[in-house]
Structure formats: structure tokens, C-alpha cells
Amino acid sequence: MQLTNDEILSVDSETGWVSGLRQLLSPNCDARPEGAQVEVIVLHGISLPAGQFGGDAVIRLFLNQLDVNAHSSFSPLNGLKVSAHFFIRRDGEILQFVPLTMRAWHAGISSCLGRTDVNDFSIGVELEGTDINPYEEAQYRSLARLNQSLIREFPAVTADHLVGHSDIAPDRKSDPGPCFDWARCRCDAVIFS
């Protein structure tokens, strides 16, 4: 799925923000180590409460505004400080929480490309979903648009450097899950790699 120039998202290299997206700055980020380059895009799946879509709980989690008393499943999230660069809702809306120049806190204890501390050299993209529900067509279209723009901006990232949380932390994580269409995702991104 090759995108036309007006469909490609524009990345501001200086600020790290992507134009045309809803931007909500998460406090859960910090500077990348000196000399670190983006080499990997890590795809995640998330929903809060699990299996419920369309609410604002994920947004509140990334902004440290989640009321952990609002749902019984939220109590383990008390004090958790996490974020991702992007969140793609079920309808395809993309929200940006962390500038690409900064390190988002999405990977946790992880390893990729023979290195640990994957947050240092990655971009985190959360898809609203679960391991057991297929992702929506609108999400794949938005993800293709985003990945193609990121691959254009960061030449070290190729379609082979699109990985799941399950790939970088297999003992802890299973997302984005078996319903995620990796062949489609990589095919949609391959035009710039």
C-alpha cells in the first residue's frame, strides 16, 4: 500500500512531533542517550479495561491521570509510569504522546538487535486492541501511513525492524498478539526500506 505524498505524515526533525496528529505530552519520557539512533519500531497492543475499546483510560495512563479506583483491574497500575510515542485507536486516529527526539517508556526489560534497553533506540506504537481480537482495517491503514513516514525519517529502520513487544520481551509480553497481521504490516512498510 504505497501512500501519496499528501498522505505521508510530516515529521519535524527538530521537535520530534508529527504534524496533523493529536498531541498530548506524556511526562513519562526522557532524553535518549547521546548518539542513540532510532533503529526499531516496537508494536504493542493495549486496552483498558482489557477488551474494552473507545474510552480514555489508555490516554489517562500515559498522562499519569488514570484513576486506579475507576475499575477493579486498574489497581496493579497504581504508580506505573509508562508511555508510547503513538497510540492508534480502533477508528484509526493516531495520537502522539512523546516527541520522537525523546525516549518513551514502553519496552521495559527487553532486548533487540543484540542489545538491551530497547527504549533507547526505538519508537513505541500502541494499537488499541488485545491478543485475541483482530485489529481494525482503519488501524492497519493508519499504521502503514505512520510506519512509512517513520521509515522515511529514520533510515536505520526497515520493514525487518518492525517488531512486537512479544519479540523483545518474550518471557513477559504477548502483544500485539496472534491476531496481528505481520505480513501485511511489513508489506505496507517495505516501500521505503
Structural domains of the chain in order of their starting residue, each with its CATH number: 22-192 (3.40.80.10)
CB under 8 Å to 159, separation ≥6 — which residues?
Answer: 151, 186, 187, 189, 190, 193
Which one from 39, 93, 126, 128 is the annotated catalytic residue?
A: 126
- Of the candidates 124, 166, 121, 118, the one whose C-alpha atom is nearest the C-alpha of residue 143 is 124
Residue 163 is which amino acid?
V
Q: What is the pLDDT of residue 22?
A: 96
Residues of the chain scoring pLDDT < 50: 1-6, 192-193
Q: Is residue 128 flagged as an active site residue?
A: no
Query: Residue 87, exposed/middle/buried by CB under 10 A (0-12, 13-18, 19+)?
Result: buried
Q: What is the pLDDT of residue 189?
A: 87
Exposure letters 120-144 (e unless 16+ CB within 10 A, then b): bbbbbbbbbbbeeeebbeebbbbbb
Task: Return the sign of the alpha-carbon dihedral for residues 145, 173, 63, 54.
Answer: positive
pTM beyond 0.85: the answer is: yes
